[in-house]
Amino acid sequence: MLHSVSLTASRLIAARTLSLSKAAAKTSSLFRSFSTSDGTFDLTGCFQTHNLDSAPSESVTATKQELVDIFELMYTMRRMEITCDNEYKARNIRGFCHLYDGQEAVATGILNAFEPEDSWITSYRCHCIALARGGSVRQVVGELFGVIDGMSRGKGGSMHFYNKKHNFFGGQGIVGAQVPVGAGLAFANKYNAKPGEKMNVAIACYGDGAANQGQIWESANMSALWKLPMIFCIENNHYGMGTSIDRHSSISDYYKMGNSIPGLRIDGMNVLAVREGMRFAKEFCGSGNGPMYVEMMTYRYHGHSMSDPGTTYRNREEIAFTRSTRDPLEFVKKCLLDNEFIDEAEIKSTEKRIRKSVQEEVMKAKESTSPPLDELTKHIFATSLEPQCDSEYPPHIRMPNYEKSFWANGHRN
């Protein structure tokens, strides 16, 4: 019974994702022209729109260097997450651990579409986004080990990464909690934008299992009313924890959930489609048109967390089918090979180099130590309200009434 149910789910997934399996199967004919420096790729069938007068381009150009950089980042993500799986099983990582392998094209495509000044916040499946936004394998794995060299100095663990310098506002441990914070980041970006210039956008990534949270509806309402440059990004990996979307949501077209808010569905296993789609979303939202719902059709290879084998509500055949037809890394390899940018030997050499680098970074993380006890009291309160005393307060904080605003030069009304 379980086998037949899972196969039915596989068929539903294939039908729902814009015939994305067919789109992926077209990889062998993806390029229309190529040279030694760039290629043009066909993205037909990778997008669906809601309440939009235009759509992302179905033809995109990528250079050899862009594709090589994309592949190296995605492969580093994949190896890092596989290593985390092994370290967890060896009991070197404790607590919760939610892995991202299978979804690498989403984070990498967003990264390549955004500017460093754009704000990014996500769920507790956050290791690879932390890596993309200024982190290193050593910092990510070190945080999982709970050592002082971790990205959050060993105090956050798997679900609580943060890098303000790179406008990455963390992973959130509570389901959906990142979305209203993301709306706040979008509000700040609009508030700080110079008149006449495009706004930096904010994106909040969350899973299909969080899509019906009340706080998301409230955030969407405010974002629409105030025309905030906010992107609601649903990473639809088809299973909210261990429950298929057909069983946990009355709406399965998540990109339409904003009602009057425009929506875009993207093949989240195709990094070029993600990049092009997110460029379109950034341009739309940053130009003052208000928020957008974006649904990434993706798939996670691991279970919901390390405590979930991931095979009780789906079978191994379904996972193997996705790996063989829609794997995001294999897609990039195909692009590189079809355009004769690099050959198989160069790919294998790159993979070997990255595997070695990841392992070296993990060993460095293991050499670090646990944070001292006094670290537990840091980063809780501001040390001072004066800007010259290591304060993060801006020189002027606008209150609803201008005359009651706070001025950091000592004048407070």
Angle in degrees, CA 266, 312, 232, rounded to 5:
25
Structure tokens at 270: 């195709």
CA angle 73, 124, 150 (to 5 degrees): 65
What pLDDT is attached to residue 45? 97
Helix (H, G, I), strand (E, B) or coil at 366: helix
Contact 184, 218 (CB under 8 A): no
- Give the pLDDT of residue 196: 87
φ, ψ for residue 284 (rounded to 5)?
Answer: -65, -50
* pLDDT for res 377: 83
Q: Residues 310, 209, 122, 177: is their CA dihedral positive or negative?
A: negative
Let me know how many helices (H) and strands (E) the chain has, helices first. Answer: 13, 14
Give the model's pLDDT for residue 135: 97
For the chain, give every domain's residue range: 2-380, 381-413
In this prediction, residue 405 carries a pLDDT of 72
> What's residue 379's pLDDT?
81
**What's the N-to-C CA distance of the chain in angstroms?**
70
Q: What is the pLDDT of residues 182-221, one digit of tens each?
A: 999 999 999 999 888 999 999 999 999 999 999 999 999 9
The CATH code for residues 2-380 is: 3.40.50.970
DSSP β-bridge partners for residue 66: none
Residue 389: predicted pLDDT = 58
Encode pLDDT of 234-288 as tens digits.
999 999 999 999 999 999 999 999 999 999 999 999 999 999 999 999 999 999 9
Give me the pLDDT at residue 27, please.
38
Low-confidence spans in the chain with pLDDT less than 70: 1-36, 382-396, 398-403, 406-413
Q: In degrees rounded to 5, what are phi and psi of residue 164?
A: -60, -35
What is the predicted pLDDT for the residue at 113? 98
DSSP 285: I
Render 233-265 in DSSP notation, one character per residue.
EEEE-SEETTEEHHHH-S---GGGTTTTS-EEE
